[in-house]
Amino acid sequence: NLQGTWELNNGYKMPYLGLGVWKAEDGEEVINAVKWAIEAGYRHIDTAKAYDNEEGVGKAIKESSVARKDLFITSKLWNSDQGYESTLKAFEKTLQRLDIDYLDLYLIHWPVEGKYKDTWRAMEKLYKEGKIKAIGVSNFLEHQLIDLMKDCEVRPMVDQLEFHPWLVQEDLQKFCAENDIQYEAWSPLMQGKAFKNETLKKIGEKYDKTPAQVVIRWDLQNGVITIPKSTSKDHIESNADVFDFELSEEDIQTINALDKGERIGPDPNNFDF
Ligand code: NAD
């Protein structure tokens, strides 16, 4: 069921399939993508200050026929805004651009050394005030999660990480599960590289599904929230057409075995922006 949810560690429900909008241009492109997604049944949109399209996402939400309370909107705090006061300010601007009065999920985009704890204190304040329903992080590895949790009052509810068949990070998944932190996948389709993989193609043929659908289904069966990105109506619809089949345990293991520990994006231990 496309609108199915998983419960976060504070009881708030998060839809397990969402639309990612990185690199969707503000204006018509992102507005159409979000509208098509909502029409196709998506209830979860993943944006960020850094994507420069919060305004367009906000417009699409407003113009859609689905009530705000039935949508799940994520945004992320950018690196240059980290710190206590600057986080409070950046959050207000994000709300203004989206033109909504609360966020469902706010994430620290990257673990900026020396700053993420002050940032987290501001996120906790906003959470306690009810302006954000759930708070979390992105690109935090195990040691960064441990460090953050040593001093926090509210534990992160989500960690959004690069996750796809070439980068499984089983230990990190296990750590998150043990600490009740929901694992969420970014670049789930390997930014398009998934489509050419022979193993994924073969598995897809068995179920009459595309490699993209196989990977999205694999995320869901692994308990991972997933936010494939597209601005094409057809792809937005087909990426959500993953609820009428189930991968066998053997196929899941075959996909797990594609893991090469290979990143497409930056290493959270060594990023520079
Ligand atoms: P993705 O893995 O979702 O792949 C997107 C690419 O695949 C696009 O080029 C799209 O046109 C193409 N595509 C999608 N569906 C297709 C289909 N059915 N057939 C053919 N082509 C298809 O890549 P992504 O955008 O990097 O990741 C998804 C989302 O994750 C982003 O939009 C963003 O919201 C989030 N993200 C977060 C971070 C982070 O640091 N937290 C980093 C990267 C991405």
Q: What is the CATH number of the domain that holds 150?
A: 3.20.20.100
How high is the pLDDT of residue 194? 86
* pLDDT band, very low/low/confident/very high, at 213 (cuts 50, 70, 90): very high
For residue 264, being part of any structural domain is answered with: no
Domain carrying residue 230: 5-256
* pLDDT band, very low/low/confident/very high, at 84 (cuts 50, 70, 90): very high
Q: What percent of the chain has pLDDT over 90?
A: 97
Tokens for 255? Answer: 């996909």
For residue 268, being part of any structural domain is answered with: no
For residue 267, being part of any structural domain is answered with: no
- Is 109 known as a binding-site position? yes
pLDDT value at 273 more than 90: no
Question: Is 265 close to ligand 1, i.e. is its CB under 6 Å away?
Answer: yes
Return the residue whose CA atom lies nearest to atom 42 of ligand 1. Answer: 186
Secondary structure letter of residue 167 according to DSSP: B
For residue 150, being part of any structural domain is answered with: yes
**CA atoms within 13 A of residue 88's CA, in its CB half-sphere:** 10
Question: Is 20 close to ligand 1, i.e. is its CB under 6 Å away?
Answer: yes
List, for residues 240-250, the tens digit of each pLDDT value. Answer: 999 999 999 99
Question: Is 195 close to ligand 1, i.e. is its CB under 6 Å away?
Answer: yes
Question: Is 46 close to ligand 1, i.e. is its CB under 6 Å away?
Answer: yes
pLDDT value at 3 more than 90: no
Torsion of CA 61, 231, 91, 126, to 10 degrees: 70
Mean pLDDT confidence for 6-34 = 98
The complex's ipTM works out to 0.99
Number of domains in the chain: 1
For residues 15 and 230, give the distance between their C-alpha atoms in angstroms, rounded to a whole number. 18
CB 166 within 8 A of CB 260: yes
Secondary structure letter of residue 208 according to DSSP: T
* pLDDT band, very low/low/confident/very high, at 272 (cuts 50, 70, 90): confident
Mean pLDDT confidence for 127-154 = 98
How high is the pLDDT of residue 188? 98
Return the residue whose CA atom lies nearest to atom 19 of ligand 1. Answer: 235
Q: State the chain's mean pLDDT as an integer.
A: 97
For residue 265, being part of any structural domain is answered with: no
Tokens for 70? Answer: 């039935």
For residue 124, being part of any structural domain is answered with: yes
CA of 244 to the centre of ligand 1 (A): 22
For residues 203 and 209, give the distance between their C-alpha atoms in angstroms, rounded to a whole number. 8
CA of 177 to the centre of ligand 1 (A): 24
The closest alpha carbon to 154, from 197, 119, 205, 203, belongs to: 119
pLDDT value at 109 more than 90: yes
For residues 186 and 265, give the distance between their C-alpha atoms in angstroms, rounded to a whole number. 10
CA of 133 to the centre of ligand 1 (A): 25
For residues 25 and 29, give the distance between their C-alpha atoms in angstroms, rounded to a whole number. 5
Mean pLDDT confidence for 169-173 = 97
Mean pLDDT confidence for 75-101 = 98
How high is the pLDDT of residue 1? 79
For residue 273, being part of any structural domain is answered with: no
For residues 181 and 173, give the distance between their C-alpha atoms in angstroms, rounded to a whole number. 9
